[in-house]
Structure 1
């Protein structure tokens, strides 16, 4: 399949996708009721989208094209309310969070679509272990060259989004010590991690042709990169975020990305280089392992700082762009979370109260469903 032409989109428009957990209200383990829920939501009102994911205990919701924080937050809250009403009819709950705290991958059931069955045949047990839950954010770009420039420029900020969104400390009943254990599951897949350093859409087309000629890649969906271009949408897609515990935070993270992109495009504070990726894997690991307490190395100066401090400095740097894009409320929500702690901190705090993990998941469900 040849690489699609890059569709021109309005710059800095947004689209948000959230992968969500379906849990039983009896024991708060995952519940394989995606088909039942999708049937109830078949005639939902709103421009948003809902569809299955790889296993039957998860769904993915997608916003319409958005430009500002308030309308995006309003749409996600409408979506949350309609999903919650449908879930209550089935006696299930819906939760955010990057992993379920104690589900076992071997219990999961592949959702019956041709692509998901293909992935199950190809990846074996990894397909069921991919029952993890992320937030993806699309940002509109006018052409492929600008999309690739922005993709590489954003590499310095990937740890911000991992640390701010981290909500997956528990896996199969154990505290992993990671704030975002979810990304370890993603990293198990071939063609995950960072995109190759190509700067033009023509050059990317040559790379894509070489990959498809090997038979390893059939389409852009086979790339599990942290940020990837989506030519059919005219966007780049950030894929590192865990699904937050609330839709308000999901909207705030999307607008933080929008404002950083605005800052990078308009001020061009640096030119991305291949050497920016020398510290990429270290910075990514620090954010996954330690969250806001992790360290980040500047690829230019080689200086280290706390991720929390780097985020605070970045929020101050993009304030003017947040004002122009009516996203100050989003920035302030994230400022508060930088000091209060991310969702992984909240989940651990609930466990530290002596709660069973089922009660922790119940609390997360109540937070998401309101």
Structure 2
């Protein structure tokens, strides 16, 4: 489908399977870990080399770290780590630091301030209380594709495996000072938005265009940025963007997530994507939301766990020489050990059971 002016969406070609990431982080007081509305201080004090990497977000108590385009996940993580150290350097002087969890463990919407930016004000008018209670923080990962056809293949494959990426990242079992019983409460908050959650498969890029222009010509979106699916095609950048993950302080875990997404994007080009029933997709995502990597993962051949499915994919991509092709085969041998560690959400639960103190739990978001 074409837009009113007769022009479709242009997919901007990217170097195949390059990677980048965006990490949303909290700014918290060094004294009591409450949210600190300090983003303006950062943008005033940040050194020149980080001005493009550290960017404002919807709340003044958060910023987004945006990596440049990289060949390898390890490079992306290095950029993110350096930017986080820069923020903490500034925070030492002004009394705040960085925490990277999917939710703040005890803050409330009354304590937040919306960044004064036209887009955020427009969203506040539309979303009302939903945006005001958006004390949530995510990790977004981009993989580059040379054309729209290859991107649709990568996108459809990602739809199937959203629970794996979510399970690896879970870090939000607390909200408003309460234990929610879920490993990723951020996920449930985000799903309240009208254009969020698990998207549909597309048979072609033109099918995606048709949906896009229906939404745009109806006045519901202005650009792709107003579509908040768990994974989305991003024609402007020539990427597929994974958006299902909680923010996370474990840099090796982030590297594993990026590597897995990069590897699956390559594998998707050589095989037809198996399509799951939408109710199975929803159930799988719920299982990861509720139980993290211990949750069950349903596929047509039977049921396994999120963790075992990740191990299986890592092994399968190794057999297909994809890790070797990417030049990260040795790195993956180390990264898969992340799966032996407890997810951040489980660590938070264990600390809470011992201490009953959500402020101590918040400190688990400090960068590892």
Provide the TM-score with structure 2 as the length reference: 0.92
Asked whether 1:34 is paired with 2:36, we answer: no
Evaluate the alpha carbon distance shift between residue 146 and residue 182 of structure 1 in structure 2; reply closer, same or farther with a 3 A threshold.
same
Partner Cα separation in structure 1 for residue 179 and residue 50 of structure 2: 38
- Name 2:25's counterpart in structure 1: 20
Partner Cα separation in structure 2 for residue 235 and residue 26 of structure 1: 40
The DSSP-based 3-state class of the residue aligned with 1:279 is: helix
Trace 1:1-370 onto structure 2 (pairs within 5 A). Answer: 4-41=9-46, 43-45=47-49, 49-265=53-269, 267-268=270-271, 270-273=272-275, 275-298=276-299, 300-301=300-301, 303-319=302-318, 320-328=321-329, 331-354=332-355, 356-365=357-366, 368=367
The DSSP-based 3-state class of the residue aligned with 2:268 is: helix
Partner Cα separation in structure 2 for residue 155 and residue 331 of structure 1: 23
Residues 256 and 330 of structure 1 are in contact (CA less than 8 Å); yes or no, is this contact kept in structure 2? no
Residues 97 and 168 of structure 1 are in contact (CA less than 8 Å); yes or no, is this contact kept in structure 2? yes
Residues 95 and 245 of structure 1 are in contact (CA less than 8 Å); yes or no, is this contact kept in structure 2? yes
The DSSP-based 3-state class of the residue aligned with 1:353 is: helix
What is the CA distance between 1:217 and its match in structure 2? Answer: 2.3
Q: Deviations over 1:89-129 (max 9, x none)?
A: 21101011101110112221111000011111111111122
Residues 10 and 142 of structure 1 are in contact (CA less than 8 Å); yes or no, is this contact kept in structure 2? yes
Partner Cα separation in structure 2 for residue 332 and residue 122 of structure 1: 47
Partner Cα separation in structure 2 for residue 29 and residue 213 of structure 1: 42
Residues 166 and 342 of structure 1 are in contact (CA less than 8 Å); yes or no, is this contact kept in structure 2? yes
Evaluate the alpha carbon distance shift between residue 218 and residue 272 of structure 1 in structure 2; reply closer, same or farther with a 3 A threshold.
farther
What is the CA distance between 1:131 and its match in structure 2? Answer: 2.1
What is the CA distance between 1:218 and its match in structure 2? Answer: 2.3
Partner Cα separation in structure 2 for residue 152 and residue 175 of structure 1: 34
Partner Cα separation in structure 2 for residue 352 and residue 48 of structure 1: 41
Evaluate the alpha carbon distance shift between residue 29 and residue 189 of structure 1 in structure 2; reply closer, same or farther with a 3 A threshold.
same
Deviates more, 1:236-245 or 1:340-349: 340-349
Question: Structure 1: which 5+ runs fail to align?
Answer: none
Residues 17 and 60 of structure 1 are in contact (CA less than 8 Å); yes or no, is this contact kept in structure 2? yes
Q: Deviations over 1:6-32 (max 9, x none)?
A: 100111110100000100112101111
Residues 249 and 333 of structure 1 are in contact (CA less than 8 Å); yes or no, is this contact kept in structure 2? no
The DSSP-based 3-state class of the residue aligned with 1:16 is: strand
Partner Cα separation in structure 2 for residue 240 and residue 157 of structure 1: 10
Evaluate the alpha carbon distance shift between residue 341 and residue 328 of structure 1 in structure 2; reply closer, same or farther with a 3 A threshold.
farther
Q: Deviations over 1:245-269 (max 9, x none)?
A: 133322231122111212222x41x
What is the CA distance between 1:333 and its match in structure 2? Answer: 4.9
The DSSP-based 3-state class of the residue aligned with 1:335 is: helix
Evaluate the alpha carbon distance shift between residue 47 and residue 12 of structure 1 in structure 2; reply closer, same or farther with a 3 A threshold.
farther
Aligned residues between the structures:
361
Residues 298 and 304 of structure 2 are in contact (CA less than 8 Å); yes or no, is this contact kept in structure 1? yes
Evaluate the alpha carbon distance shift between residue 276 and residue 122 of structure 1 in structure 2; reply closer, same or farther with a 3 A threshold.
same
After TM superposition, what 4+ stretches of structure 1 lie above 6 angstroms from structure 2? none
Provide the TM-score with structure 1 as the length reference: 0.92
Residues 32 and 359 of structure 2 are in contact (CA less than 8 Å); yes or no, is this contact kept in structure 1? yes
Evaluate the alpha carbon distance shift between residue 47 and residue 123 of structure 1 in structure 2; reply closer, same or farther with a 3 A threshold.
closer
What is the CA distance between 1:271 and its match in structure 2? Answer: 2.9
Partner Cα separation in structure 1 for residue 140 and residue 213 of structure 2: 26
The DSSP-based 3-state class of the residue aligned with 1:196 is: coil
Residues 3 and 208 of structure 1 are in contact (CA less than 8 Å); yes or no, is this contact kept in structure 2? no
The DSSP-based 3-state class of the residue aligned with 1:135 is: strand
The DSSP-based 3-state class of the residue aligned with 1:346 is: helix
Residues 248 and 365 of structure 2 are in contact (CA less than 8 Å); yes or no, is this contact kept in structure 1? no
Residues 170 and 246 of structure 2 are in contact (CA less than 8 Å); yes or no, is this contact kept in structure 1? yes
Deviates more, 1:47-56 or 1:126-135: 47-56
What is the CA distance between 1:276 and its match in structure 2? Answer: 4.6
Question: Structure 2: which 5+ runs fail to align?
Answer: none
Q: Deviations over 1:17-74 (max 9, x none)?
A: 0000100112101111111112212x33258511111111111010000111332232
Calculate the aligned-residue CA RMSD, in Å: 1.9
The DSSP-based 3-state class of the residue aligned with 2:313 is: helix
